[in-house]
Structure 1
Amino acid sequence: MKRFDELTTEELDAWHKLRAANPALDSPYFHPGFAAAVHEFEAVHVAVSRDERGEITSLMPCHRDGSVLRPVGWPGADFQGPVLAPGTAFRPLELLGRGVRGLEFDHLLEQEGFEPWIVSRRASPYVDVTGGLDGYLERASRTGKDNMGQARRRTAKAGRTLGPVRFEADTVDPEALEQVVRLKRAQYAATGARDYFAEPGRIELLTRLLHTRDPSFGGVLSTLHAGPHLLAAHFGMRSGGVLHWWFPVYDPEHSGLAPGWILLRELVAAAPALGLTRIDLGRGDDEYKRRAKTGESVVCQGLVTRSPARLAVRRARDSLVATARRSELLRRLAHKIRNL
């Protein structure tokens, strides 16, 4: 295992080639640009596997926290796993040793080799935006169509009551990014969720991604204004035709307009001009995701370990969190358990 900045040209080229050959890895989280950006603020180590001929077969970028490895970008990585060719088996136990006792994952794309250590699976919804708004409406569920119709009417209302509505699909605006972070942190505080931005370097990570304008990878900041008011915004990442929905926010003062739906509708409509065909909404059972999705993938949670006792503890914890999640009264408890 070596640091990301120690990878050779051969290894970085293999990363690009293996990812390009595997359609399942089209999320920006699997692009080496994401690992590079994260490594600027938190050390990323990469396990490089080779076959008997010396050819690279997989790369697994991780962070090390004591005796535990976690996928690159943890806990903000909504897709995780090794970069490898389709049909290639991965041997996660080979990551253990030299003081490493476990590999924890919570958004792993299901892959051959991890089955014994998967504790649970959850849906990760997405929106097929091929053909823009018209194409989406042909594929959307009834509730998705209804919410898009309501968003159109609320856009008109916002224009009448607050001022002209202005949407920017991809803007490099540091002040708007600061507003996104401020609104997101307020949302974390209100819901009792862990504040992602409390850790050093994470605001700087978003700033770096905002200014990354590589055609194959970069940050995307979308904003929705009505007159002088920022109604909603979103910061995510894109790679090729895939945009990952990462940090959506809205101003609670204007929640009656459902500005998040207005923003999503505008982004879907702008998809052809942006070259997008899919928006990954990320794991979660939020109501708007259930309504908006046109499909879903599955991500796994678990712990690679040689200790049956540690795996049993992980299963018990996840079971408790799942039970708490089903109750609105216990939702705050679920956040605290997950944070532990």
Structure 2
Amino acid sequence: MEFKRHRRLRSSEGMRAMLRETQLSTDDFIYPIFFVEGEGIRQEVPSMPGVYHVSLDYLEAEMQDLVDHHIRSVMVFGVPNHKDEVGSSAYDHNGIVQRAIGMIKEKFPELLVIADTCLCQYTDHGHCGVIKDGDVLNDESLTLLAQTAVSQAQAGADMIAPSNMMDGFVAAIRKGLDEAGFEHISIMSYSVKYASAYYGPFRDAAHSSPQFGDRKTYQMDPANRLEALREAQSDVEEGADFLMVKPALAYLDVLRELKDRFPLPLVAYNVSGEYAMIKAAAQNGWIDEESVVLETLLGMKRAGADLIITYHAKDASRWLNKQR
């Protein structure tokens, strides 16, 4: 009986390395960080071991750590002291995110700074837009989101990453940026953001849980694939420069479809719940953390991601550099 000798191409480490189709690099990683008001704060998030709330007096040390790990990109989230019904701290020129962005660009101009653009961390109700009679108002929310994006660009952000899933959010933000003279600022759209159970630890970190109801009227149903293509198509038409799928691990099929259909850079968000599961299993000695993390991130790249937002970025960078 004749058969193919596929194992010939796996016969040694040198052979496997030569034929490896997908490569992970520290250039692939975007590191999310949570800045908080106050001083002397570097407090670990209970559900996310290794992830911290950081006050601005620790900012320089945190950014230097990223540079030392050869990580080039950071996504900035803010946890404000003041919250109100319209999330005014999100577009306050002296807000926590705006101040953090300004400090990073002043001290580490070589870092690419991406601003998460949403209202949920800043509203007292925890939703991503303006509320009236229990409903999230779409068009009224767009005005505030565009205002937030402009304030982040004015602070020095290199890229705006709107995560709110309002209809027309890319068009509104693009128009707002262009009118304010920021035509050169790119938009990394959370194009396909599912109403996922994997976000729990993030909401712990960002203090952004809804105070009533849920986000299922604007975030996507996890059962839907074709809807994801419609959402991404709208963002392409409205001027997005990057597309994103969030979460990543349970939606690799969607990631692959977007990669095959749209000629834009594609981002996978390796979200907090995915991170926390691996951390918990590793702390219990059930898995080899390094191997599982690198395999997981490699799978996201193989599925089509050009970039990966991940809380594992520093660990993964250290492990990759060790392998060289």
TM, length-normalised to structure 1: 0.27
User: Which gives a bigger RCO, structure 1 or 2 (Cα 8 Å, sep 6+)?
Assistant: 1
TM, length-normalised to structure 2: 0.28
